[in-house]
Amino acid sequence: MNKRILLEDLGNKDYKETWDYQEVLFKSVLDLKIKNRREGSRLETPNHFLFVEHPHVYTLGKSGDIGNLLVDENVLTKKGAKFYKINRGGDITYHGPGQIVGYPILDLDNFFTDIHKYLRFLEEMIILTLEEYGIKGERSKGETGVWIDVGTPFARKICALGVRASRWVTMHGFALNVNSDLGYFDLMIPCGIKGKAVTSLNVELGQKEVDLGEVKEKLLKHFSCLFEAEFLACNKQV
Protein backbone atom coordinates (compact mmCIF):
# COMPACT_ATOMS: atom_id res chain seq x y z
CA MET A 1 0.00 0.00 0.00
CA ASN A 2 1.32 3.42 -0.99
CA LYS A 3 0.97 5.85 1.91
CA ARG A 4 3.00 8.60 0.28
CA ILE A 5 1.01 11.70 -0.72
CA LEU A 6 2.12 14.31 -3.25
CA LEU A 7 1.40 17.73 -1.76
CA GLU A 8 0.71 20.75 -3.96
CA ASP A 9 -0.15 24.26 -2.78
CA LEU A 10 -1.91 25.91 -5.70
CA GLY A 11 -2.11 29.33 -4.02
CA ASN A 12 -5.06 31.47 -5.10
CA LYS A 13 -6.72 29.68 -8.01
CA ASP A 14 -10.07 29.80 -9.82
CA TYR A 15 -12.54 27.19 -8.61
CA LYS A 16 -13.36 25.73 -12.04
CA GLU A 17 -9.69 25.44 -12.99
CA THR A 18 -8.99 23.63 -9.73
CA TRP A 19 -12.00 21.37 -10.15
CA ASP A 20 -10.80 20.44 -13.65
CA TYR A 21 -7.34 19.68 -12.25
CA GLN A 22 -8.87 17.52 -9.52
CA GLU A 23 -10.79 15.60 -12.17
CA VAL A 24 -7.58 14.92 -14.11
CA LEU A 25 -5.83 13.55 -11.02
CA PHE A 26 -8.93 11.63 -9.95
CA LYS A 27 -9.30 10.00 -13.37
CA SER A 28 -5.62 9.07 -13.55
CA VAL A 29 -5.88 7.17 -10.26
CA LEU A 30 -9.14 5.49 -11.30
CA ASP A 31 -7.73 4.49 -14.69
CA LEU A 32 -4.71 2.89 -13.03
CA LYS A 33 -6.93 0.95 -10.62
CA ILE A 34 -9.06 -0.31 -13.52
CA LYS A 35 -5.91 -1.29 -15.44
CA ASN A 36 -4.60 -3.22 -12.42
CA ARG A 37 -7.88 -5.09 -12.09
CA ARG A 38 -8.18 -5.94 -15.78
CA GLU A 39 -4.58 -7.01 -16.26
CA GLY A 40 -3.96 -8.50 -12.84
CA SER A 41 -1.08 -6.08 -12.32
CA ARG A 42 -0.06 -4.36 -9.11
CA LEU A 43 1.06 -0.95 -10.23
CA GLU A 44 1.20 1.51 -7.33
CA THR A 45 -1.63 4.05 -7.25
CA PRO A 46 -0.65 7.62 -6.34
CA ASN A 47 -2.22 9.88 -3.71
CA HIS A 48 -2.52 13.67 -3.95
CA PHE A 49 -3.34 16.51 -1.55
CA LEU A 50 -4.09 19.98 -2.90
CA PHE A 51 -4.15 23.17 -0.84
CA VAL A 52 -5.87 26.13 -2.49
CA GLU A 53 -7.48 29.48 -1.75
CA HIS A 54 -10.34 30.34 -4.11
CA PRO A 55 -11.71 33.69 -5.24
CA HIS A 56 -15.32 34.17 -4.04
CA VAL A 57 -17.45 31.23 -5.21
CA TYR A 58 -20.55 29.30 -4.17
CA THR A 59 -20.84 25.60 -4.96
CA LEU A 60 -23.92 23.38 -4.73
CA GLY A 61 -23.56 19.64 -4.14
CA LYS A 62 -25.45 17.09 -6.22
CA SER A 63 -28.10 16.62 -3.51
CA GLY A 64 -28.31 20.32 -2.63
CA ASP A 65 -31.24 22.70 -2.82
CA ILE A 66 -30.73 25.77 -5.03
CA GLY A 67 -33.17 27.56 -2.74
CA ASN A 68 -30.38 27.72 -0.15
CA LEU A 69 -28.68 30.35 -2.32
CA LEU A 70 -30.54 33.46 -1.21
CA VAL A 71 -29.57 35.84 -4.04
CA ASP A 72 -29.68 35.83 -7.82
CA GLU A 73 -26.88 35.91 -10.37
CA ASN A 74 -26.88 39.72 -10.55
CA VAL A 75 -26.12 40.02 -6.83
CA LEU A 76 -23.34 37.43 -7.13
CA THR A 77 -21.80 39.37 -10.00
CA LYS A 78 -21.86 42.58 -7.97
CA LYS A 79 -20.17 40.73 -5.11
CA GLY A 80 -17.51 39.37 -7.46
CA ALA A 81 -18.63 35.79 -6.85
CA LYS A 82 -19.24 32.79 -9.12
CA PHE A 83 -21.59 29.82 -8.75
CA TYR A 84 -21.21 26.17 -9.77
CA LYS A 85 -23.27 23.01 -9.42
CA ILE A 86 -20.75 20.27 -8.71
CA ASN A 87 -20.46 16.52 -8.18
CA ARG A 88 -19.64 16.28 -4.48
CA GLY A 89 -22.02 15.35 -1.69
CA GLY A 90 -23.60 17.96 0.57
CA ASP A 91 -25.49 21.17 -0.05
CA ILE A 92 -24.30 24.73 -0.68
CA THR A 93 -20.88 25.98 0.41
CA TYR A 94 -18.93 29.21 0.06
CA HIS A 95 -15.21 29.47 -0.70
CA GLY A 96 -13.20 32.66 -0.66
CA PRO A 97 -10.03 34.49 0.33
CA GLY A 98 -8.75 33.72 3.82
CA GLN A 99 -10.13 30.17 3.75
CA ILE A 100 -7.95 27.08 3.58
CA VAL A 101 -9.42 24.54 1.17
CA GLY A 102 -7.96 21.05 1.04
CA TYR A 103 -8.62 18.44 -1.63
CA PRO A 104 -7.23 14.98 -0.79
CA ILE A 105 -7.34 12.76 -3.85
CA LEU A 106 -6.54 9.45 -2.22
CA ASP A 107 -6.85 5.82 -3.17
CA LEU A 108 -8.38 4.62 0.07
CA ASP A 109 -7.23 1.10 -0.79
CA ASN A 110 -3.87 2.47 0.33
CA PHE A 111 -5.29 3.39 3.74
CA PHE A 112 -8.70 1.92 4.65
CA THR A 113 -11.89 1.35 2.68
CA ASP A 114 -14.38 3.17 4.88
CA ILE A 115 -15.88 6.51 3.76
CA HIS A 116 -17.43 7.16 7.18
CA LYS A 117 -14.01 6.74 8.81
CA TYR A 118 -12.46 8.94 6.14
CA LEU A 119 -14.86 11.82 6.91
CA ARG A 120 -14.36 11.40 10.65
CA PHE A 121 -10.57 11.54 10.16
CA LEU A 122 -10.89 14.78 8.18
CA GLU A 123 -12.98 16.22 11.01
CA GLU A 124 -10.48 14.98 13.58
CA MET A 125 -7.65 16.71 11.71
CA ILE A 126 -9.54 20.00 12.03
CA ILE A 127 -10.45 19.38 15.68
CA LEU A 128 -6.82 18.66 16.61
CA THR A 129 -5.64 21.75 14.72
CA LEU A 130 -8.15 24.00 16.49
CA GLU A 131 -7.07 22.50 19.81
CA GLU A 132 -3.58 23.88 19.21
CA TYR A 133 -5.17 27.35 19.17
CA GLY A 134 -7.08 26.71 22.38
CA ILE A 135 -10.41 26.21 20.58
CA LYS A 136 -12.67 23.24 21.21
CA GLY A 137 -13.93 21.99 17.87
CA GLU A 138 -16.73 19.43 17.89
CA ARG A 139 -18.89 17.25 15.72
CA SER A 140 -22.62 17.95 15.54
CA LYS A 141 -24.80 14.85 15.33
CA GLY A 142 -26.12 14.32 11.81
CA GLU A 143 -24.17 17.31 10.44
CA THR A 144 -20.85 16.77 8.70
CA GLY A 145 -18.11 19.27 9.46
CA VAL A 146 -16.59 20.88 12.55
CA TRP A 147 -18.47 23.16 14.92
CA ILE A 148 -17.96 25.24 18.06
CA ASP A 149 -20.34 25.36 21.07
CA VAL A 150 -22.47 22.46 19.83
CA GLY A 151 -25.72 22.07 21.75
CA THR A 152 -25.94 25.74 22.70
CA PRO A 153 -27.77 28.69 21.11
CA PHE A 154 -24.34 29.89 19.95
CA ALA A 155 -23.42 26.85 17.83
CA ARG A 156 -21.38 27.93 14.82
CA LYS A 157 -19.61 26.11 12.00
CA ILE A 158 -15.93 26.69 11.29
CA CYS A 159 -15.22 23.95 8.75
CA ALA A 160 -17.33 22.40 5.98
CA LEU A 161 -16.77 18.99 4.38
CA GLY A 162 -18.01 17.56 1.09
CA VAL A 163 -16.48 14.67 -0.83
CA ARG A 164 -16.97 12.41 -3.80
CA ALA A 165 -15.67 8.85 -4.02
CA SER A 166 -15.59 6.19 -6.72
CA ARG A 167 -13.86 2.80 -6.44
CA TRP A 168 -12.49 4.12 -3.13
CA VAL A 169 -10.80 7.10 -4.80
CA THR A 170 -11.71 10.45 -3.21
CA MET A 171 -11.91 14.04 -4.41
CA HIS A 172 -13.18 17.40 -3.11
CA GLY A 173 -12.62 17.78 0.65
CA PHE A 174 -12.74 20.43 3.36
CA ALA A 175 -12.89 24.21 3.76
CA LEU A 176 -11.59 25.74 7.00
CA ASN A 177 -12.46 29.38 7.68
CA VAL A 178 -9.30 31.08 8.91
CA ASN A 179 -9.48 34.76 7.89
CA SER A 180 -12.77 34.57 5.98
CA ASP A 181 -15.08 37.49 5.25
CA LEU A 182 -18.15 36.08 7.02
CA GLY A 183 -20.46 38.52 5.24
CA TYR A 184 -20.44 36.25 2.19
CA PHE A 185 -22.12 33.50 4.20
CA ASP A 186 -25.16 35.76 4.60
CA LEU A 187 -26.00 35.18 0.92
CA MET A 188 -26.83 31.51 1.53
CA ILE A 189 -28.08 28.99 4.08
CA PRO A 190 -24.72 27.31 4.80
CA CYS A 191 -24.88 23.58 4.02
CA GLY A 192 -28.67 23.96 4.01
CA ILE A 193 -28.73 24.19 7.82
CA LYS A 194 -30.99 26.97 9.07
CA GLY A 195 -30.57 28.91 12.28
CA LYS A 196 -26.87 28.23 12.88
CA ALA A 197 -24.02 30.68 12.46
CA VAL A 198 -20.65 30.44 10.75
CA THR A 199 -17.36 31.56 12.23
CA SER A 200 -13.67 31.89 11.36
CA LEU A 201 -10.48 31.15 13.28
CA ASN A 202 -9.39 34.80 13.44
CA VAL A 203 -12.78 35.80 14.87
CA GLU A 204 -12.59 33.10 17.54
CA LEU A 205 -9.08 34.20 18.48
CA GLY A 206 -9.93 37.91 18.39
CA GLN A 207 -7.17 38.53 15.85
CA LYS A 208 -7.17 40.52 12.64
CA GLU A 209 -5.38 37.73 10.81
CA VAL A 210 -4.03 34.24 11.46
CA ASP A 211 -1.01 32.96 9.55
CA LEU A 212 -2.34 30.58 6.86
CA GLY A 213 1.00 28.83 6.43
CA GLU A 214 1.11 27.97 10.12
CA VAL A 215 -2.40 26.53 10.03
CA LYS A 216 -1.54 24.43 6.96
CA GLU A 217 1.51 22.98 8.73
CA LYS A 218 -0.65 21.93 11.66
CA LEU A 219 -3.27 20.40 9.37
CA LEU A 220 -0.64 18.35 7.54
CA LYS A 221 0.91 17.18 10.81
CA HIS A 222 -2.38 15.82 12.07
CA PHE A 223 -3.42 14.41 8.70
CA SER A 224 -0.16 12.48 8.35
CA CYS A 225 -0.53 11.10 11.88
CA LEU A 226 -4.15 10.02 11.44
CA PHE A 227 -3.60 8.46 8.02
CA GLU A 228 -0.08 7.21 8.82
CA ALA A 229 0.99 9.00 5.66
CA GLU A 230 4.12 10.69 4.36
CA PHE A 231 3.79 13.99 2.49
CA LEU A 232 6.03 14.69 -0.48
CA ALA A 233 6.38 18.06 -2.19
CA CYS A 234 8.82 18.86 -4.97
CA ASN A 235 10.34 15.43 -4.29
CA LYS A 236 11.11 16.44 -0.72
CA GLN A 237 9.44 15.20 2.44
CA VAL A 238 7.55 17.95 4.31
Does the annotation flag 56 for ligand binding? Answer: no
Helical H segments across 6-65, by residue range: 15-39
Is 174 annotated as contributing to ligand binding? Answer: yes
Handedness of CA 211, 103, 196, 180 (dihedral sign): positive
Q: Angle at CA 109, nearest 5°, toward 103 and 110?
A: 75
User: Is residue 161 a known part of a binding site?
Assistant: yes
For residue 88, say whether it is annotated as part of any ligand binding site.
Answer: yes
116 annotated to a ligand binding site: no
Q: Specify whether 191 is catalytic.
A: yes
Q: Is position 115 annotated in a ligand binding site?
A: no
**Sign of the torsion angle spanned by Cα atoms 217, 149, 192, 185:** negative
Is 222 flagged in the annotation as binding? no
Residue 98 among known ligand-binding residues:
no
Closest CA to 173 of 76, 77, 49, 68: 49
CA-to-CA separations, 58 to 49, 105, 191, in angstroms, rounded:
22, 21, 11
Residue ranges at the known binding site? 88-95, 160-162, 173-175
Residues belonging to the active site: 191
Residue ranges at the known binding site for substrate? 88-95, 160-162, 173-175
